[in-house]
Amino acid sequence: MKKYLTQEEIINQIKNAIDNNKGFSLVRIGDGELVILAQEIILSHKTIMSNYWWAYNSLSYCGTPLPNIKIRDSMNKAVKNADIVGVFEETIYDERFNPACMDVARFNTLVFDKLDFYSEQICYAFENIYLPMNYKFIELIIKYPPLIIGGETDKFVDFLSKTLKLNIQQGIPIKDYFELDKCINKISKTDFKWALVSAGANALPICDYIKSIGKVGVDFGHASDYIMYPHIYSEFNYEHLRSQ
Using the predicted structure, report yes or no on whether residue 22 has a pLDDT greater than 60.
yes
Q: How far apart are CA 48 and CA 32, in angstroms?
A: 11
- State mean pLDDT over 195-213: 98
pLDDT digits (tens, 9 = 90+) for 152-172: 999 999 999 999 999 999 999
Please state, for a pLDDT cut of 90, what percent of the chain lies above it: 69
Q: Which runs of E-coded beta strand occur in the chain?
A: 24-28, 84-87, 122-124, 147-150, 172-173, 194-198, 216-219
Average confidence score pLDDT of the chain: 89
Better-scored residue on pLDDT, 235 or 161: 161
Residue pair 39/48 in contact (Cβ under 8 Å)? The answer is yes
Residue 104, pLDDT score: 43
Q: Tell me the range of 47-61, 109-123, 133-147 where mean pLDDT is highest.
A: 133-147
